[in-house]
Structure 1
């Protein structure tokens, strides 16, 4: 077994579901997401990625992706239901997103979650070189840092939470709250998206564990755990280059023609998830149509809803509700050959996404709660000509960085309607000023800046960041 000085541990492998014709594996990229965030860092860096390959009861040997070695973890049907669909996505996910959907607590799920986390930890312990850095990703694997601390006390352990970390009063609802918090604090560095999240962790460490805690340091059992906000970002140069490609520009022009050359195109790109505020957005747009503030003949909305967690009951119900509402709106306000909403429940490749970003006059990103939202950043990166408007939820982590967006409370449908109208009616000079400010911020806070900040904090010698970010 070859060992690595850097090991990434994540729920999923960053792979396409099918191999390329030559048998090589390729990156699986989705709107935003972990694989996109780490792509620029790891595509040319010797490392090992441990994760589930998406199948049941199988962990086939998979080829490397460039210099990245792949170590698959097998999940049984029972484990998939208990660990992934159950505790991770029916308990932790809704609770970490302000309980937008009611969390479900089943005692059996946590045992399965613990068992699977141990399997990930054991795999990481096996492939890590002495003194290696192991970088554990996200809420699926919150027990892994503590388990690694027991198995390999010689390694550096980093943990990064890509989703929000909830306020203490919500986290305290978890039946296994102490074990989850202790597991996460097995890391040397806990990275979070926002300073408030670090504050929440410190409060809980004091309350549940009796630790001495500040917002950037927790002392537990004589060991210091550092915490901090490291807002994740995107590969800005990659998206800018993609949006400038002649074939992508041509594709964007064709998309606009296919939409009927409307005066305005509103675009939303989300995973199909109840945290994304899709239903609130549809309600607001429907009422603008009803009130005659928006006309189908000159304005069109494109809603991309990438399929997500289709085996989880609440997601199937959500899909049915959204598709029913889109059908109602189109039936009531659409015209022959002119639907009010173009609804696409399918994944898009990167070139098509870039073309959509170029097509959109308004990018509407209105989650009810989101750790960051990289789609908002991708849109800004794609708009090299300085045009376009970003309507952005106050409850997305990106709002702290994009104060020049049209910020909105998505729970307030009347406020959302007013903000959409303000963005649609804004003067071109105002839009250029806003976009210029957002692009300037993003250029200095790209994915490499994020990785450099996090990895330098994890390894104060600087060797880890220097080796990764050559």
Structure 2
């Protein structure tokens, strides 16, 4: 069987990690079942950078290969273009985007170097699967080196409409680079439609009835592949000793109170201040919950060396401090913010002990926390998921309580609905959600993309 070669900005860890959700979780779950090579940045900065030695590690089924960046490449490629230019544009935040030509030049240079190092690792029958906004031009660089392997691409974050994306300088070239891939995967059908619209309106391409998109003399497949989790595996996490210890500690700390849980990387796209204000509105509009319901917000630090992320932390501390000062009472604090991470097993226990999962990003490609929360629940007494309509997960999870995260009144009202929901309705909603997540798990996600990639590549070679 052909080897799967995964490329992403960060690699691993392959074993259970302190990181919750996101790209790494989906890829670990997929690679452990299929095996292969995982290639990307080591997370380290060295003087040699991408010209330095490969660092390798192996488990029974998966090999990793990583390279360093130097400081200039980190500043331009990662901190600069990827996170100051692409990330805000792709999340509909033009007000936060920085358009600096030097950043783009470094971004492309680093992609070329990654492609050079990757080519030396490839075997003729490898299937290459490239991930996320860090490596949009990587396929074009590999094709320029005469790599003929099947190469697929998956974007984990949203793909905005043409009106937003064209604000990015050289957006036409960036999307043109994507046509070097055989298959481009997106989280939702809306993202697919935005990509197709850009190809038609901005690049003069056309869309086939089979979902293919043609431009620049190439026909590729653009399709939605919603990322899943190892649903059954995460459900088992909730039954481990570590999960039970954390659930018991949580129950003891709550002292009979009800908890709402939010778990997000500390990022402005997650709508954390808006979430806290919505909880404040709950306490204002439904005073019976004062002293009885608390919100725990877990927000591991993310890209803390960037000004925008330092600002969001300070804002979150200020808002939570204000609400706690306003409503706290003896033995009860409304909001607990923790800027740290937990193991996935520990999180499973925390999810299971929380009556409501509050997942309200302002914009998110998918959001695996929503899926993990559902998977961790007790089938006999499940909690309720309150989910932003702007998370990709909302397209798959209509049985959640879907909210507009910008509307504090609406979010507060839906939290109230969740708190008052009958056991019968909670079980009915949970059963439907769990069934969907089990059918569309991480293995199904990976196999669907890889199958389409092989088929599309064969058709391209035959054309």
TM-score by length of 2: 0.93
In the aligned structure 2, how far is the partner of 1:102 from the partner of 1:60? 35
- Structure 2 residue aligned with 1:9: 7
Residue 140 in 1 paired to residue 138 in 2?
no
Higher mean C-alpha displacement, 175-184 vs 213-222: 213-222
Q: Contact 1:300 / 1:341 at 8 angstroms: preserved in 2? A: yes
In the aligned structure 2, how far is the partner of 1:163 from the partner of 1:345? 23
Of 138, 145, 153, which aligns to 1:151? 145
Q: Contact 2:213 / 2:222 at 8 angstroms: preserved in 1? A: yes
Q: Contact 1:56 / 1:74 at 8 angstroms: preserved in 2? A: yes
- Structure 2 residue aligned with 1:314: 308
Cα deviation code 1:355-387 (max 9, x no counterpart): 111111000000011111100101111114251
In the aligned structure 1, how far is the partner of 2:293 from the partner of 2:398? 26
- The answer for unaligned runs of 5 or more in structure 1 is 16-24, 464-470
Deviation at 1:461, TM superposition (A): 9.4
Residue 443 in 1 paired to residue 438 in 2?
yes
Cα deviation code 1:20-70 (max 9, x no counterpart): xxxxx7454522111110112212544221111111116662322333222
Residue 30 in 1 paired to residue 10 in 2?
no
Deviation at 1:285, TM superposition (A): 1.0
Q: Contact 2:266 / 2:302 at 8 angstroms: preserved in 1? A: yes
In the aligned structure 2, how far is the partner of 1:225 from the partner of 1:121? 21
SS at match of 1:342: strand
- Structure 1 residue aligned with 2:461: none
SS at match of 2:256: coil
C-alpha spacing 1:161/1:239, structure 2 compared with 1 (3 Å): same
Residue 433 in 1 paired to residue 433 in 2?
no
- Structure 2 residue aligned with 1:253: 248
- Structure 2 residue aligned with 1:419: 414
Higher mean C-alpha displacement, 73-82 vs 293-302: 293-302
Deviation at 1:220, TM superposition (A): 2.6
Q: Contact 1:100 / 1:275 at 8 angstroms: preserved in 2? A: no
Of 43, 48, 56, which aligns to 1:54? 43
Q: Contact 1:6 / 1:128 at 8 angstroms: preserved in 2? A: no
Residue 279 in 1 paired to residue 268 in 2?
no
Residue pairs, 1:65-214, within 5 angstroms: 65-99=59-93, 101-214=95-208
SS at match of 1:43: helix
In the aligned structure 1, how far is the partner of 2:288 from the partner of 2:70? 50
Deviation at 1:327, TM superposition (A): 1.3
In the aligned structure 2, how far is the partner of 1:127 from the partner of 1:70? 11
Aligned residue pairs, count: 450
SS at match of 1:348: coil
Q: Contact 2:18 / 2:342 at 8 angstroms: preserved in 1? A: no
In the aligned structure 2, how far is the partner of 1:27 from the partner of 1:183? 35
C-alpha spacing 1:100/1:114, structure 2 compared with 1 (3 Å): closer
Q: Contact 2:119 / 2:147 at 8 angstroms: preserved in 1? A: no
Residue 457 in 1 paired to residue 446 in 2?
no
Of 15, 26, 43, which aligns to 2:32? 43
Deviation at 1:155, TM superposition (A): 0.6
How large is the RMSD of aligned CA atoms in angstroms?
A: 2.0
In the aligned structure 1, how far is the partner of 2:233 from the partner of 2:286? 40
